[in-house]
């Protein structure tokens, strides 16, 4: 046999020298769940290792993460006040604007602050938009999302990230930001977001499960790959600075296709259920967590994601898994 691919797998240094996939720590984005109680730390049952934190604890934690090279956060707010208009989400003095200000004050431009823009956490019914007669209304939701994004931008967010899946939200948010003097605030669209059972643990973590029905009238059907591309291309055309595929692991084909068809950075969200399954199997000794996490993150990057939003980031970095 003349051709033997195994030759290049002979030693660890040789394998390392021909490895095709590498990502940097600063391509990881660490999500955080922020709560009103400033000093509160509430571990999340379904997500071992992840806790909801008040602003003081969050600032401490992010300081430690920065020392590990984790330079990006994605913030989710758990507001106590919920109503039919999601009014706490647009409050300039609300939870997320306060968290953004505290982080900015402490870390200046060393930290990249992204905020999730969605109404499910502030709506009493738990849907991502205005609900009327059992329907989630698209156009009525847009101005609320735009106001929410503006409140985050004013507080100093670098990136606003709409995750609601209403049509036209990128245009609505971009116009509102530009009109108000925030033309430099970047927009990371959750452009291709599937209605996924892998969000289960997040909905416990963020107390954002819909009280009735499901999200299938706005989030995508997991069977559709062409529509997946269309959704992202539409958001790019509307002016999104970055796109996203979510979840990641069941959608590596989608990541690859979008990557080939766009010129803006692409993120992938390795979501709560994907995280919790690894944790559950590792706790039973069924998989080697370090190796599985490495394989997962490398796979998502290999498929084409430039940015990896993952709950594994901090632990993987801290324990030297990457």
Residues forming contacts to ligand PBG in the complex (CB under 6 A) are: 116, 118, 120, 128, 163, 199, 202-203, 208, 215, 271-272
> What is the distance between the alpha carbons of residues 305 and 322, in angstroms, rounded to a whole number?
17
Which residue, 163 or 232, has its beta carbon nearer to ligand PBG? 163
Please state the closest distance from residue 273 (CB atom) to ligand PBG, in A. Answer: 6
Which residue, 54 or 121, has its beta carbon nearer to ligand PBG? 121
3-state secondary structure (DSSP) of residue 35: strand
Which residue, 62 or 128, has its beta carbon nearer to ligand PBG? 128
Question: 57, 82, 193, 279: which is the annotated catalytic residue?
Answer: 193
The set of residues, in sequence order, having a beta carbon less than 8 Å from that of 1 and lying 6+ positions away, is none
> What is the distance between the alpha carbons of residues 298 and 305, in angstroms, rounded to a whole number?
10
Please state the closest distance from residue 291 (CB atom) to ligand PBG, in A. Answer: 22
Q: Is 193 considered catalytic here?
A: yes
Number of H helices, E strands in the chain: 11, 13
Contact of 136 with 217, CB cutoff 8 Å: yes
Question: 82, 246, 259, 279: which is the annotated catalytic residue?
Answer: 246
Instruction: Give the CA distances from residue 213 to residues 26, 69, 127, 131, 192, in Å, rounded to whole numbers and listed in that order.
Output: 38, 41, 9, 11, 21
Assign 3-class secondary structure to 39-55: CCEEECCCCCCCEEECH
Q: Which residue is nearest to ligand PBG (CB)?
A: 202
Please state the closest distance from residue 116 (CB atom) to ligand PBG, in A. Answer: 5
Please state the closest distance from residue 271 (CB atom) to ligand PBG, in A. Answer: 4
Which residue, 106 or 281, has its beta carbon nearer to ligand PBG? 281
- Catalytic positions are 193, 246
């Amino acid at each position: 046999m003349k051709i033997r691919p195994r030759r290049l797998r002979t030693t660890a240094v040789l394998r390392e020298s021909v490895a095709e996939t590498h990502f940097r720590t600063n391509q990881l984005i660490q999500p955080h769940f922020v709560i009103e109680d400033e000093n509160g730390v509430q571990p999340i049952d379904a997500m071992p290792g992840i806790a909801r934190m008040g602003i003081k604890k969050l600032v401490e934690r992010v300081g430690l993460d920065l020392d590990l090279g984790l330079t990006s956060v994605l913030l989710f707010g758990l507001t106590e006040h919920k109503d039919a208009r999601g009014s706490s989400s647009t409050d300039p003095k609300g939870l997320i604007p306060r968290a953004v200000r505290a982080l900015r004050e402490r870390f200046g431009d060393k930290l990249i602050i992204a905020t999730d823009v969605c109404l499910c956490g502030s709506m009493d019914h738990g849907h991502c938009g205005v609900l009327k007669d059992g329907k989630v209304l698209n156009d009525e939701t847009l101005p609320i999302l735009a106001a929410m994004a503006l409140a985050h931008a004013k507080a100093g967010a670098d990136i606003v990230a709409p995750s609601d899946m209403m049509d036209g939200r990128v245009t609505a948010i971009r116009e509102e930001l530009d009109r108000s003097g925030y033309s430099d605030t970047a927009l990371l669209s959750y452009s291709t977001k599937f209605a996924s059972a892998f969000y289960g643990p997040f909905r416990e973590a963020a107390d954002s499960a819909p009280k009735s029905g499901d999200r299938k009238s706005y989030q995508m059907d997991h069977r559709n790959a062409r529509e997946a591309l269309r959704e992202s291309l539409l958001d790019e055309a509307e002016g999104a600075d970055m796109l996203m595929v979510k979840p990641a692991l069941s959608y590596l084909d989608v990541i690859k296709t979008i990557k080939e068809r766009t010129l803006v950075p692409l993120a992938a969200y390795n979501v709560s259920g994907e995280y919790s399954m690894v944790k559950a199997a590792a706790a039973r000794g069924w998989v080697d967590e370090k190796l599985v996490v490495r394989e997962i993150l490398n796979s998502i990057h290999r498929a084409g994601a430039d940015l990896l939003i993952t709950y594994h980031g901090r632990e993987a970095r801290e324990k030297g898994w990457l």
